[in-house]
Amino acid sequence: MNEAGENLWAFGPQPIFDADEMLEILMRSADIMLTLASDMTVQSVFTNSNLQSTAVLEGWVGLEFHGTLSFESQTKFETRIAKFMKSNDRTCVLELNHTIDDEIQISFEYQVFKTRSDGSLFLLGRDLSDIVILQQKLIQAQSDLRRDDRPSLNTDRCLQVLMEASDHAVAFVSSDSDAIIKMNRNAENMLRLSSNIFEQPSFEDQFEPSRDKINMSLQGIKKMFPTSRIIKRTGMNVLIKGQEILSASDKIIMYQITPASEQQQGQNSTLPHPPSEASQLVGTASLKAIVSQTTDIIERKCISAALYLANNNRSIAADMLGLSRQSLYVKMRKHGLHDVQDTE
C-alpha cells in the first residue's frame, strides 16, 4: 500500500482475493499444502481432492514432519532444511518420500517457503507418484531385457568354447535350409571355409554330389550312421556323423566330420590300441579315480580355451564358462593356471 492508500504491486494493481479464493488458487496449483511450525511440527494440511490417501495425509496435523518421512528422506530433509534456514534464500525445492503404514510410499516435490515472522515453513507439494511408477516400469523393462539377453549370450559363448575345445571338426546346420549356422576352426580348415563370410553356405554343397542328401540319413531318427563323402575343395574322403538338436525356432543338426583314414585305421585292427594316456593310467588307480582325473583334464582344457578366446580377460572367460570370477580363480589355481596374466 502506498501513501495514497492504494494497494499496488511493483508492477501494477494488486488483485484482491479473500482467504477462500486464495486457498483454492493454491490448491489448484499444488496437490498438497503444509505449514510447519518452527519446531517442524505439522500445523495444517490441505490436499487436492484428486490426491490418494487424503484422509491419512490430513491426519499428519500435530505430528513431527520428520516422522512422516522415509528413512532416506529424513536425512535429506534435516540436512537441506538446516542449510536453508541459515541462508538468505526465501525458497528451496525438495523431493521427499513419505511412508504410510510402514509400507506404502508417496513422493512429493515440495517448494519450501520461509515465513518472515516466526521461522515457520510453508510447503507446496506436487505428487510424483505417476512419475515414480513410470520410472519403476522403465527400470523393470531394462532389467527384463538384460535378463532375456544374458542367457542366450552365455549359451553362445559356452557353445563356442566347447566347439573349439573339441579335437574334431564340428558344424551346426539348419535342418530346413541346410545352411551352416556355426562351425569350429577344425571344420573351417577341413572344408576350406571362413566363418566370417556374409552368407551362410549350404553344408551339402561342400561335398561332391551324391545320390542321397546327407540329412536324409536322419529321417525318423535322432542320430545318423557315418556317411562317406568327398570334400569338393580338397578331395579328402571323410566320414560324417550327425545328431539332431531341437532349438526354440528350428531343428539343428550337429555334424562331426572325420577323415576316413582315421576311422579305417581303427576298424582294420583286430584289437583296438588304447591311447597312450589311457595306457599310462590303467593299473595305476581305480576306474573311479581315472574318470575323475579325466574330468579334470577336460575342465582344464575348457578353462584354457576360454582364456585364449577372451584374450586372458578373466571376467569375460568366467562369463563364457558360466562361472563367477571367484570360482574361475579357484579352478585356475587348482589346474596351475593362476600365473596367466589378466588383461582386464
Same domain, 13 and 69: yes
Residues 41 and 98 in one domain: yes
* Residue 187 falls inside a structural domain: yes
Residue 160: all three cell numbers together: 563356442
Question: 265, 299, 333: which is the final residue of a domain?
Answer: 265
pLDDT at 344 over 60: no
Q: Are 102 and 190 in the same domain?
A: no
pLDDT per position as a tens digit, 49-81: 776 666 678 788 999 998 889 888 898 999 999
Q: What share of the chain is helix, strand, coil (3-state, %, to 5)?
A: 40, 25, 35
Q: Which residue, of 69, 100, 127, is where some domain finishes?
A: 127
Q: Tell me whether residue 316 is in a domain.
A: no
Position 270 confidence tier, pLDDT thresholds 50, 70, 90: very low
Q: Which residue from 26, 90, 42, 98 is spatially nearest to 68, judged by alpha carbons?
A: 98
152 vs 283, residue with greater confidence: 283
Q: Are residues 171 and 256 in the same domain?
A: yes
Residue 23 and residue 92 in one domain: yes
At 242, which CATH number?
A: 3.30.450.20
- Based on the fold, state whether residues 174 and 119 are members of the same structural domain: no
Q: How far is CA 150 from CA 124, 156, 160, 184, 334, in A?
A: 45, 10, 15, 22, 28
Number of domains in the chain: 2
Order the strands of the 104-114 sheet from edge to edge. Answer: 42-47, 32-36, 121-127, 104-114, 91-100
Same domain, 112 and 176: no
**Within a domain: 340:** no
Query: Would 209 be classed as within a structural domain?
Result: yes
Same-domain check for residues 121 and 200 = no
Q: Is 78 contained in some domain?
A: yes
Task: Give the Cα separation of 42 and 13 in Å (integer).
Answer: 34
Residue numbers of the domain that contains 81: 8-127
Its sign, for the CA torsion 22, 23, 24, 29, is: positive
Among the candidates 265, 290, 316, a domain finishes at: 265
Measured CA to CA in angstroms, residue 128 lies from 26, 113, 198 at distances of 18, 20, 51
**Domain-embedded: residue 73:** yes
In this structure, are 105 and 176 located in the same domain? no
Structure confidence at residue 12 (pLDDT):
54
Do residue 17 and residue 72 come from a single domain? yes
pLDDT tens track for 217-246? 555 455 666 788 899 999 999 988 888 876
320 domain-assigned = no
How confident is the model at residue 165, as a pLDDT? 77
Residues 108 and 171 in one domain: no
Same domain, 30 and 87: yes
Mean pLDDT value across the chain: 76
The answer to whether position 19 is within a domain reads: yes
**pLDDT digit string (tens) for 1-28?**
444 444 444 555 556 666 666 666 776 6
pLDDT at 41 over 90: yes
